[in-house]
Amino acid sequence: MRRRSLLKGMAALPALSLLPRRLLARGAPARRRRVRPGDPDWPDAAEWQRLRQAVGGNLFAGEALFAACVADAAGAACAAAKANITNPFYLGDQPCGTQVSGWLDAWTPAPSAYVIRARSAADVAAGVDFAREHGLRLVIKGTGHSYQGTSNAADSLLIWTRAMNAITLHEGFVPQGCAGDFAPEPAVSAEAGALWIDLYDAVTTRAGRYVQGGGCADVGVAGLVQSGGFGSFSKGFGTAAASLLEAELVTADGAVRVVNAKRDPDLFWAIKGGGGGSWGVITRVTLRTHPLPEYFGGVGGAIRARSDAAFRALVARFVAFYAERLHDPHWGEQVALGPDNTLRLGMVCQGLDAAQAERTWQPFFAWVQAAPAEFDIVEPLGTGVREARRWWAVAGNEFMIPDPRPDAPKTHGWWRGDQEQVGAFLHGFDSLWLPAALLRRAEQPRLVDALIAASRHQRVQLHFNKGLSGAPAEVVAAARATATNPAVCEAFALAILADGEGPAYPGLPRPAPDRERARRNARAIDRATAELRKVAPAGGSYVSESNYFNPSWQRAFWGEHYPRLRRIKDRYDPEGLFFVHHGVGSEDWSADGFARLSSREGRIPSP
C-alpha cells in the first residue's frame, strides 16, 4: 500500500509542476519581511528580464521626478521639469510623479526600484505574481493623486495603470452573470488610468449625460471609486462608489476577476469605498450614468466682518440660511471661514436656472448688504449658471486652465480653484463629518460657536457635497450599500482643515521648507479640529482627505464597517500583499510596509 501511494504521488508530480506558482504557494508560511535591493533574495537581472518580457518590454527602473535637477541643475531636462511643476497632468504622467510633494514628518516622494507601465490586465497579473513570489513591496499608481502618499514607496515594484485609459459608453449595461436580475441601464466603462476629465468629456460634453465622479479633473477613476468618491454634485447624484455596477481587478493570487453584485459580492462591496490599494489592482470600472440637468451653476464672493461680533452674526446667519434654503440636492461644494473674519463662498448647484439660483441667494445677499457698517464685500457676490453640457468643456471656459503641453489632449484642463493643490507640500490636514442634527434651530448656536472657535486657529472649509444629508432618499440608500463610513449619510458637510506651501519635491532647486513654521501650522490644525470635535465627537473622517497621523483610523474611516472589511481582506489577501498607509489590514505591518508585525504587536483593536 505504501509503494502504491508513493507511485501515485510520483505520477502526480508532472501535473503538479504545471499548476500556477500562486496555487502552490498558498500553503507556504507568510513572509516576515519584504525584500529590498541588495538583499540576498532580491530578484537577479535574469528574473527582472523575464518579467520585462512578460509585460511586453514595459518594465523600467524608477526615477525621481526631479532626478534631472540632481544630475544637472542648469540642464534642459531640469528646466523642462521645473516648467511643468504647476501642471497636474504633467505630474500624473511621470512614472514616479506625485500630485503633492510630501507631508511634514509623514512621507516624502521616493521612486520605486522598478515600474511596470501596464497596458492590460495580463500585464498587471504578471506584476502581481512577480511581487508575491519574490516578496516585494508592491505599489499601485494611476495618477498619483494621493495626499497620504499611497502611490509611491522606495525599493518597491510599481504597477502604473495610466496607459490603460479606454472609455466605452453603454446604452443598456447588465453586469456579467446578472441577466434577468437587473434591467439594462446606461453606463460607462473606463480603464483604471482614465481621468475624470476624460469621462466628463465622453459622458457629458459629447453624450449629454452625467457620471458621478471627482471634483478635481485630473483625479484617476479607479482610486476615487475605491475611496468613496465625492464630486461637486454628490448631494444630487451620490458617490462614485454607489454608482459602481461592475469592476475588473487583479487580486493577490494573480487572478483577473470581474466582480459585481452577483460575482464575488463581498469583494465588490469592499472596493466601493473600502480604500484604494488594499484589495487588488483595479483595471476597469463600469459606472451608471444619469440624465443630465439643463444647467449647472454656482455662487461666489467673499464677505469680511469688521469685528468678531459681526463675524459671529455673519456665521450664524449663514448657518441658518443654509439650513433653510441650501440643505437640499441642488447645492454642493464649499464655503470657508478664515481667521481674518472672512466668509468666502464657492458653492455650485445643479438643476436650477439663473432666476432660481438668484432667488435662492437674494435674502442672504440682501441681509449682508443692509449692514455696510458691519461687513465689507471684498469679492463681488453673485450667482450664475451655464449649460450643463459645457461645464467641463475646456475651450472658452474661464474657470479652467488648459494643459499647455503641445501633445496634450485639447480636452484636458483643471479648475483654477484647484491650482494651489498642485505639488503642495502639506504641513497638516484633517477632516470631520458634521452631523445634520447640528442644523436644528436649537443646536445652531453650538455649531456656530465651534466653527468660530476653530477658525481662530485655522481656516475651516465646509464641503457640503461631501455630506449626504439633504440628498434624495435613493441616493442615501445607495451610499449605505457601500463600504463608506455610514456617518456620511447623516452629515450635512465635511469640514476640512489644511495648510501647506508650494512644491518641495526632493531634488527641486528651492529653499527647504521652514519646518518649525510648518509644525506650528500643523498644531493649529489640530487645535481647530479639536474645537469641531466638541460638537461632532463621532463624526468620522473621509479616508482620502484625512489626518495621516489619526490613531483611530479604522473607526474614523469606516466606522462599523471595519470588522467586515477586515474579514474580506483576510479572505482575498491573507498574506497582505497589498499595503497602503492606514489601509485595511495595514495594522499587521510596519509603517513602511516592509516588516510584518507579530499577531498582537501594532494591531489597533477593531471597532
| DSSP-assigned states of every residue in 76-94 | HHHHHHHHTTT-HHHHHHS
Query: Residue 291 — very low, low, confident or very high, per pLDDT cuts 50/70/90?
Result: very high
Q: Other CB atoms closer than 10 Å to residue 49's CB: what's the count?
A: 12
HSE of 324, CA atoms in CB hemisphere, 13 A: 12
Which residues fall within 8 angstroms of residue 12, CB to CB, at 6 or more apart? none
pLDDT for res 558: 98
- Mean pLDDT to the nearest integer, 525-530: 98
In the numeric block, which cell numbers belong to residue 380?
A: 463681488
Rounded-to-integer distance, Cα 529 and Cα 82, Å: 35
Q: What one-character DSSP code corresponds to residue 201? A: I
| Span 167-291 CATH architecture | 2-Layer Sandwich (3.30)
Which residue shows C-alpha cell 445652531?
444
pLDDT for res 29: 62
pLDDT for res 599: 57
Per residue in 459-501, pLDDT tens? Answer: 999 999 999 999 999 999 999 999 999 999 999 999 999 999 9
Q: CA distances (Å), 604 to each of 219, 539, 544, 569, 596, in order? A: 31, 19, 20, 16, 14
Rounded-to-integer distance, Cα 477 and Cα 467, Å: 13
Number of residues that this document lists for the chain: 607
pLDDT for res 31: 81
Which residues fall within 8 angstroms of residue 54, CB to CB, at 6 or more apart? 123, 126, 130
Q: Where in the chain is the domain with CATH 3.30.43.10?
A: 46-160
CA 181-187-191 angle, 5° bins: 115
Per residue in 415-434, pLDDT tens? Answer: 999 999 999 999 999 999 99
Per residue in 115-170, pLDDT tens? Answer: 999 999 999 999 999 999 999 999 999 999 999 999 999 999 999 999 999 999 99
Q: What one-character DSSP code corresponds to residue 418? A: G
Q: What one-character DSSP code corresponds to residue 193? A: T
Mean pLDDT of the chain: 93
pLDDT for res 12: 36
Strand partners, 463: 334, 494
pLDDT for res 555: 97
Quick check: 13 pLDDT over 60? Answer: no
Amino acid present at 515: R
Q: Other CB atoms closer than 10 Å to residue 377's CB: what's the count?
A: 14
Query: What are the strands, taking DSSP E only, across 64-191?
Result: 114-117, 137-141, 156-160, 167-173, 185-191
Angle between helices 444-455 and 308-321 (to 10 degrees): 130
Q: What 3-state DSSP class applies to 515?
A: helix
Burial of 93-114, coded b for 16+ CB within 10 Å and e otherwise, reads: bbbbbbbbbbbbebbbbbbbbb
Per residue in 61-70, pLDDT tens? Answer: 999 999 999 9
Quick check: 374 pLDDT over 70? Answer: yes
- What would the CATH number be for the domain defined by 46-160? 3.30.43.10
Q: What 3-state DSSP class applies to 189?
A: strand
Per residue in 207-231, pLDDT tens? Answer: 999 999 999 999 999 999 999 999 9
Of 19-33, 178-192, 306-320, 535-549, which gets the smallest average pLDDT?
19-33
pLDDT for res 598: 75
Q: Where in the chain is the domain with CATH 3.30.465.10?
A: 167-291
Nearest to residue 59, comparing CAs of 109, 144, 110, 126? 126
Which residue shows C-alpha cell 474645537?
531
Contact call for residues 546 and 146 (beta carbons, < 8 A): no
Per residue in 228-261, pLDDT tens? Answer: 999 999 999 999 999 999 999 999 999 999 999 9
Q: Where in the chain is the domain with CATH 3.40.462.20?
A: 295-387+408-554
Q: CA distances (Å), 210 to each of 8, 213, 237, in order? A: 61, 9, 9
| Span 295-387+408-554 CATH architecture | 3-Layer(aba) Sandwich (3.40)
Nearest to residue 188, comparing CAs of 299, 292, 70? 292
Amino acid present at 238: G
